[in-house]
Amino acid sequence: MRKKPASQTLDPLSEVRRICLAIPETYEKEAWGGPTFRVRKGKMFVMYVDNHHGDGILGIWCAAPLGAQAMLVDLDPARFFKPPYVGVNGWIGVRLDGAVDWTEVASIIEDGYRTAVPKRSFAGLMNRANKANPPRKAKPKMTPSPRRT
């Protein structure tokens, strides 16, 4: 019996949901028969697709920075594609039905989020996130006081 690769043991929707909802001020909304992930006032940055209109693809459509779509599709057309409807706006399609590098998918989703949110808003969101989860300060080292004789 062949063992599935580690990436295949993860449920794709659960992983996409985990990645998207970990980003500040994002939420999930059902639209067009599938989950979409949005930030604040409804700006969508990811759409999860499972056989959308019978295309046979399990994946995501994700907002992307200028030029990323062409670069990724040229790099690996078996994993990346130009999705219908939103592809003309530079969005990238990512297949999740084969071996999946979830670190790479998370990076693509984070880039999509940054693309969807205005720069000023992004900076404010990150500042609020950092204030809510400030970095831990190192404990000061205790130095023994000199002994009196």
User: pLDDT class for 136, splitting at 50, 70, 90?
Assistant: low
Q: Give residue-wise pLDDT tens across range 89-119.
A: 999 999 999 889 999 999 999 999 999 887 6
DSSP result, the chain:
-PPPPGGGGS-HHHHHHHHHHTSTTEEEEEETTEEEEEETTTEEEEEEEESGGG---EEEEE---TTHHHHHHHH-TTTEE--TTTGGGT-EEEE-SSS--HHHHHHHHHHHHHHHS-HHHHHHHHHHHHHHSPPPPPPPPP-PPPPP-
The mean pLDDT value for 81-90 works out to 93
pLDDT, tens only, 32-76:
788 999 998 779 999 999 988 878 899 999 999 999 999 999 999
* pLDDT recorded at residue 6: 46
Taking the model in full, what pTM does it have? Answer: 0.73
Q: Rounded distance, CA 91 to CA 84, Å?
A: 9
Dist CA 41 CA 25 (whole Å): 10
